[in-house]
Every structure is written in structure tokens, then in C-alpha cells.
Amino acid sequence: MGIYTLLVIIFLCIMIPFFFPFFIPQKKIDHNEFDKAISDLKIREDTSTSIIKPGRNYTFSYNNNYPNSSKTYRPVQGELFYFDPNTISGSDWKRLGIRDKTIATIEKYISKGGHFYKAEDISKIWGLRAEEVSRLLPYVHINDKKYPESFSSNTHKEYQPYHKADQKPFDVNTADSATLDSLPGIGPRLAKRILSFRDKLGGFASVDQVKETFGLPDSTFFKIKPKLFIGNGELKKLSINTCSADQLKMHPYIRYAIANAIVQYRTQHGSFNAISDIKNIMIITDEIYDKISPYLTVK
């Protein structure tokens, strides 16, 4: 009897869910309300598509040639002139009506050895909108491309692209920013960094030191190396007999530990008679000595 009773209970537990619909009232679907909601949705869709009418001007936002509906930009305003994107300065990009953020992107690309080989390459600039590309494209002239005859002679002279490959070799220790900027792959920003590094060193003792400039790609350095040489000018030197540790450590090649060791050795043993005497200091290896000795003097 116990087994039969258990089987009956199991059977009832299995069958009870099938009777739920008979005890739970079902909500009736109002088809009229559903049809009304569909009609309202269709009306909204028709209204939204009818906002854009032919014959009117609209402002769209482009980020790398893709539309962005969350932002709008004012119409582009800028001066148009023939230019070479590989050589013009940031101020010239500004005159063309390009935003500062986009100009920074272009300068970073050029400073890292980037190059525009054909006019259509400007469409790849991140942040340059499609309407800007269309506006500038007819005015892009790269390398030996000539300007139209209708272009005025004065403007042609002012904006004629500079052939960086034609630059003659020059002394890197006397070159100014404009001269460095004329090198292939070197923009205004990299030229400024090279000058800054040269000033901190006290001059370049070797052309290979230019490669140590922050942000200068090796590929760009080996491209410009044949155009550089070291002249007869003197380097700015630090006296190991008179400079303090703080003064010595200002040099890019001299860490505080080395500067302090030089001063401590001088205090204990007296003035240095020759620059090679610093080799007696344990932490100054032959490699360190070869690197810093051109910038030291005992005078």
C-alpha cells in the first residue's frame, strides 16, 4: 500500500503543471492597441527621414572618414594655397584651416619618419575630415610636381616645395632649426629636440650621437647621417677640478653617482693632472670614460 500511495503522489506531481493554465487567468491581448503602436512607429520613421531635404546644406562630422552623429563641426574656414605636406610648418597647416589636434598628429607622423608620397595620402591622416580632404586635395603638390601656370609667381616662390633630398652636408654643431628641418624625415619638433640635446651635451663629438635624440627613429637617422659632419668647433667642457657634483650631473652623460665620485676623489687626492686620472675611480669604466671624456677638462 505504501508503494502504491507513493506512485500516486509522484503521478500527481507530474500532472499538476499541465492543469496550471486552467487555474491562472490569461491576459487578453488588445490587438487594436498593438496596431496603434505600429502606426505611431511608422509615423515617427517617416518624419525622421523627411527632415533631410534636398537642396539644403547640412554639417556632418567625420573622424578618419567615418560619420559621427554625436558631434557637429562648424564649416571649415581657411586660406587655400599650393603646399607640400612633407615640408610645410604647423602655422601653414593652421592657415589652411586645420585644427591644432590634427596638426599635432601630422607633425608627430613626420617627426617619426613618415612621408607623404602622393596627394591622396593626406586622406589617411587621423582626424582629417572628408570635407577637408576634398578641399585640400587639389592644392597638394609633392616633390618635383610643378604648379599651374595660372599660379602667381610670388606665391609660387613662397610655397614651392623644398627638395629635402638635395640638402648638402653641413656641420651639425652649427646648424640652426631651419637647416635641420630641411632634412628628410625631420620636422620642426625633431629639429628642436636635436638642438636641445646638442645644447645639453655642449656639442656633438660624433655624428652618431645625434641618434640618441629622443624620438628620432633609427631609420631616419641613417637616412640623414650622410648629410651631417662634425666641424672644427670646440665643445663646451666641464672642469673636473672646479665643478661641483650638482654642476657635473647636469650633463646628460654624467649621473649623480659618477659626479659625486669625481668630487670625492678630488677631495681626497687633490686636483686632477689629466682627464685620464678619473679612470682611477672604480665606477668609471672604459665605456663611460670614452663617452664623457670629450666634455671634460682639468682647466
Angle at 140 between CA 135 and CA 143, to 5 degrees: 175
Residue pLDDT, tens place only, 162-188: 445 566 899 999 999 989 988 988 989
From 44-53, 79-88, 165-174, 178-187, the region with the lowest mean pLDDT? 44-53
**Alpha carbons 170 and 179: distance in angstroms, whole number:** 9
Q: How far apart are CA 115 and CA 112, in angstroms?
A: 9
pLDDT at res. 113: 76
pLDDT given at position 44: 53
Distance CA 12, CA 25 (A): 22
User: Nearest-CA neighbor of 132 among 90, 102, 89?
Assistant: 102
Q: Is 239 helix (H, G, I), strand (E, B) or coil?
A: strand
Residue 134: pLDDT above 60? Answer: yes
Q: When comparing pLDDT for 168 and 271, which is higher?
A: 271
Torsion angle defined by CA atoms of residues 39, 41, 43 and 44, in that order, rounded to the nearest 10 degrees: 170
d(CA 266, CA 273): 11
For a pLDDT cut of 90, what percent of the chain falls above it? 38
Q: How far apart are CA 272 and CA 242, in angstroms?
A: 10
Question: Among the listed ranges 81-85, 154-158, 275-279, which one has the minimum average pLDDT value?
Answer: 154-158
Pairwise pLDDT comparison (29 vs 129), residue with the higher score: 129
> For the chain, which domains are there?
61-162 (no CATH), 165-229 (1.10.150.320), 238-297 (1.10.150.280)
User: Grid cell 593652421 — which residue?
Assistant: 94
Flag the least confident range among 10-24, 75-89, 152-166, 275-289: 152-166
Confidence of residue 233 (pLDDT cuts 50, 70, 90): confident
pLDDT, the chain, mean: 78
pTM reported for the whole predicted model: 0.47
Over residues 20-36, the mean pLDDT reads: 64
Rounded to an integer, the average pLDDT of 41-57 is 46
Q: Tell me which residue of 113, 144, 138, 110 sits closest to 125, measured CA to CA.
A: 110
Lowest mean pLDDT among 4-8, 76-80, 210-214, 276-280: 76-80
For 127, which DSSP code? Answer: T
Three-class secondary structure of residue 83 per DSSP: strand
pLDDT, one tens digit per residue, over 243-264 is: 999 999 999 999 999 999 999 9
Contact 203, 219 (CB under 8 A): no
The vertex-223 CA angle with 220 and 227, nearest 5°, equals 120
For residues 11-33, give the mean pLDDT.
71
pLDDT value of position 28? 60
